[in-house]
Amino acid sequence: MRAQRSAGPGPFVHAAFHRLGLVVTSTGSPFDVEGVLNPAAARDRSGRLLLYPRMVAAGNVSRIGLIRVAETERGLEFGRASILLEPEADYELRGVPGGYGCEDPRVTFVPQLDAYVMAYTAFGPRGPRIALAVSADAYSWHRLGLLRFADDALNHVPNKDAAFFPEPVLSPSGVPSFALYHRPMLAASVNGQAPISLIRSLPPDEREVTCIAYVPVENALRDLGALRAPAESVRAIPVDPAWGALKNGAGTPPVRTSAGWLSVFHGVDAVDGPDGPALYYRAGIVVHDLERPDRLVYRSPDPLIDPETPHERIGIVNDVVFPTGIDDRGNGRYDVYYGAADARIARARIDVTFGESIRLRSALRAPSGP
């Protein structure tokens, strides 16, 4: 178990973490021979827990699956994944080497829309882009298509790690909006990654970070397809020299707490090895202001989860913990589902307690900008 308390006088945030082990691995079938990983998590309308994993076939061809989870006296039992979304839209298909498909979903139930909203990475002809799908029951899904930002510059770079907030918030300009995380990438990225040497050469405020985009509520209530058209976007979680100095990205969808919107995110560093620098993925928590989530209230001063176990250190991509799904167990307890070494799914439990006040270790407001 690892515990974390924010620095400074008085009680702020206490987070205790421990691993619950692997829950899903490849079956060896043609549909997941290269891994089953990075699942979304949601409860259906009857309260049943569902996971939506990325299933990777040979050649890095990805599908989104569905796993039904049974809660028994012996604990959680994870069923075999069925295929939910096949790559079939033109923005999910391509003919060049490197793969294609539907990747890394996050699912949020949005009560005001009375719908489940899935944001996922569509890996198609222009590289990674963010696509949306919606469902009334968490089982049958309808594609809405790719995001199209009002800031046209964002439409010409790779983008991924999207997840919706469950309730409307205020945008930086004061517009009631449905908000979502996303991570615009460097134009020089190839198949979703920019060279480490290039990122290291950039000042921190030019590196890839978690952003929040905003869709006006009135537009989405009038036409659900308007969820594809964010009107604003700001940088939300800056890189930090303590950890996650290279870049960071969204992890789980945010959940409401008494202190703000809580999410588990990933931060990436570069570690030097015998074959040169390699990426090193860790995870921590952030808390955003409930009304204005561009205002960052808290960021983990240290990572909660490092790649330490063999299944986190060795896989398709070594040294990766990549949180994507969160299940609120009540009373400040959350189960977090994460990809381990880009090959399998693991589960961890985080118990979070808030004190009388919370502060960010560096600044109360994240930098603004596209």
Alpha carbons 2 and 306: distance in angstroms, whole number: 10
> Which range marks the domain in which residue 231 is found?
2-354
* pLDDT (0 to 100) of residue 359: 45
* pLDDT (0 to 100) of residue 97: 87
Q: Give 49's contacts (C-beta < 8 A, 6+ positions apart).
A: 41, 42, 43, 69, 71, 76, 327
Give me the number of domains the chain comprises: 1
Report the sign of the C-alpha dihedral through residues 158, 161, 162, 165, in that order: negative
End-to-end CA distance of the chain: 38
Picking from 326, 281, 286, the residue whose alpha carbon sits closest to that of residue 308 is 281
Distance set, CA 320 to CA 1, 87, 111, 313 (Å)? 19, 25, 33, 7
Whether 362 maps to a domain, the answer reads: no
* pLDDT (0 to 100) of residue 82: 96
Contact predicate 136/353, CB 8 Å: no
The phi, psi pair for 312, rounded to 5°, reads: -95, -25
Whether 361 maps to a domain, the answer reads: no
* pLDDT (0 to 100) of residue 362: 33
- Position of tokens 């036409």? 223
Q: SS3 of 224, please?
A: helix
Neighbours of 311 (CB within 10 A): 17
Q: Which amino acid makes up residue 19?
A: R
Average per-residue pLDDT for the chain: 92
Whether 312 maps to a domain, the answer reads: yes
Alpha carbons 249 and 239: distance in angstroms, whole number: 10
Whether 366 maps to a domain, the answer reads: no
Q: Which residues of the chain have pLDDT under 70?
A: 1-11, 356-370
Distance set, CA 228 to CA 39, 134, 348 (Å)? 22, 11, 32
Alpha carbons 44 and 135: distance in angstroms, whole number: 10
* pLDDT (0 to 100) of residue 2: 60
For residue range 332-347, list pLDDT tens digits in order.
999 999 999 999 999 9
Q: Which amino acid makes up residue 116?
A: Y
* pLDDT (0 to 100) of residue 274: 84
Whether 368 maps to a domain, the answer reads: no
Whether 10 maps to a domain, the answer reads: yes
CATH of residue 189: 2.115.10.20
Whether 329 maps to a domain, the answer reads: yes
Whether 120 maps to a domain, the answer reads: yes
Q: Give 225's contacts (C-beta < 8 A, 6+ positions apart).
A: 144, 145
Picking from 127, 111, 144, 121, the residue whose alpha carbon sits closest to that of residue 40 is 121
